[in-house]
Amino acid sequence: MEIRSNDEGWEFAEIDPVALELLRVLPMCAEPEDDAARKRIFSPPTIQPDADAEADFEWSEYVEPGLRELFKSHTDIVAADLAAMTGESETAILRIPSDHGRAWIHTLNQARLALGARHDVTEEDTAGRRQHSGEKAFALVQIDFYAMLLSLLLSRTEL
């Protein structure tokens, strides 16, 4: 994959088929619609369950809906950028305007967190100290790919 950036944003070209598929499923991976992802993304402010039921209730009533709306707006921007991608496979070109950088950063990070929660990824898993196959192995590939893109975008985005 060839990556170019300037003040206007980023351009990804010559995207191999695996990277293209990982990009296309990014918005879906970031969705916190299952229990594991929802608990990770919208964890209550107290450390212990039921430690402060009132604070947890206020969090779920007043803070979480705004976060859900914000996160949804970010994934919508990413999905629109992906829908505007031109070409197929190794001729595909993805353009990310610089003002979409925050949405991409948040969506990439949210996808990493959600995938980690769904597949019970541990620090040992991400350090490569265990061998995996199947869905967990694929989730680890996704997490690593999204982390690489996240790092790239963070290096050129003001938060």
Residue extents of the structural domains in the chain: 28-83+99-154
Evaluate whether 71 touches 40 at the Cβ level (below 8 Å).
no
Residue 100 has pLDDT above 70, yes or no: yes
Per-residue confidence (pLDDT) for residue 33, from 0 to 100: 85
pLDDT value of residue 47: 63
Average pLDDT rounded to a whole number, residues 37-58: 78
State how far the Cα of 114 lies from the Cα of 116, in Å rounded to an integer: 5
pLDDT band at residue 90 using 50, 70 and 90 as cut-offs: confident
Q: At 138, list the tokens.
A: 């694929």
Q: Are 1 and 19 in contact (CB under 8 A)?
A: yes
Handedness of CA 90, 94, 95, 99 (dihedral sign): negative
pLDDT band at 46 (very low <50, low <70, confident <90, very high): confident
Higher pLDDT pick, 1 / 130: 1
pLDDT at 143: 95
Average pLDDT of the segment spanning 100-123: 94
State the chain's mean pLDDT as an integer: 89
Confidence of residue 22 (pLDDT cuts 50, 70, 90): very high
Distances (CA, A) of 95 to 4, 6, 81, 155: 10, 11, 7, 17
Query: Structure pTM?
Result: 0.88
- Cβ contacts of 125 within 8 Å, gap of 6 or more: 132, 136, 140
Query: What is the C-alpha separation between 94 and 115, in angstroms, rounded?
Result: 23
* CA dist., res. 150 & res. 96, Å (int): 13
Q: Where are the alpha helices (DSSP H) in 43-133?
A: 53-58, 64-83, 101-118, 123-126
Q: Tell me the average pLDDT across 100-111.
A: 96
